[in-house]
Amino acid sequence: MRIVAMFEAMQASGFQGWFNTIFGTVWTYLLLVLFFASVLIAVLIRPLRPFRSRKAASQTSNQTFGTFLHSELQLFEILKKEPSKPKTVLLAAAGLECLPVTIPIRLALLSSQAKCRCLLIDLDTKRNAVWKAFATSSSNGLTALPVESDLDNLFLVPAHYFDQTRQMNLAPLLRQVKNQYELILINAPYLDGHPDRNMIASSAEQAFLFVKENSQAQRLISLCQKRGCRILGCYKPLETPLSGRSPSREAAAASATQTVLERTGQRQ
């Protein structure tokens, strides 16, 4: 009834009366205040959105890039806090300069010394440095897998085993041995550009990533997330005078062997 009376008043009084009828009510003034207030808020907030987006992107970028890895003990402490057993952990990188062979070897040695039964699977077929560090005259690393390392609680799958396979499909091997070990480490220093990277990433439940550039981190993170592999950490190497060089097979093997000797009390 109120609306009908309003329209009748508008017709009787013409435009001036219509204007006064519409804008002369308290509700109309309230609606106008709310409208202009919302416009003002929208105008003020809009310039802040790009700034917030850039800040959030920057924070994500810094978190993605990771921190410097000072010691393999950092990684081992993280693994000890993980409740699941057995653990299959991928050590993935964009190249040898990001993940030297001494990192997986030292991590495996820490596990062995903690009386944690560990299997180290090496996918570095270019150098085969893990096998050269642990190799014994009693085995060629092919007749029976996994291979004993002559250290308590530490076993190996050498990289040259995969020279015989068309693809690095770890699933059959892991199904066979998984329940025999508390920790399985997969050394994959070339994962970023490896043709079997999807298959390799699917073989592990967890991963440590090693990168030098943010773009490398983004690719590896995306790969692991798509394959259901949870990321435990992302690290970049400490810069050294030799950081720009990729070590040769012989140098890598010598470095890894010296690490084994030092950690087992046989330092030369």
Range of the domain at 26: 2-45
Q: How many folded domains does the chain comprise?
A: 2
In a domain, residue 53? The reply is no
In a domain, residue 52? The reply is no
Q: pTM here?
A: 0.67
**β-strand partners of 156:** 120, 147
Mark whether 38 and 93 lie in a shared domain. no
Mark whether 20 and 83 lie in a shared domain. no
Give the CATH number for residue 224: 3.40.50.300
DSSP of 174-210, one letter per residue? HHHHGGG-SEEEEEETTGGG-TTHHHHHTT-SEEEEE
In a domain, residue 268? The reply is no
pLDDT tens string, the chain, 268 residues long: the values are 554 455 555 555 554 555 555 555 656 667 767 777 776 776 565 544 443 333 333 333 344 456 777 788 999 999 999 887 789 999 999 988 899 999 999 999 999 999 999 999 999 988 899 998 887 655 555 556 788 888 999 999 999 888 777 778 888 889 888 889 999 999 999 999 899 999 999 999 999 999 999 999 999 999 999 999 999 999 987 765 444 444 444 444 445 555 555 544 444 4
Mark whether 113 and 34 lie in a shared domain. no
In a domain, residue 212? The reply is yes
Mark whether 141 and 201 lie in a shared domain. yes
Q: What is the CA radius of gyration of the chain?
A: 31
Mark whether 40 and 148 lie in a shared domain. no
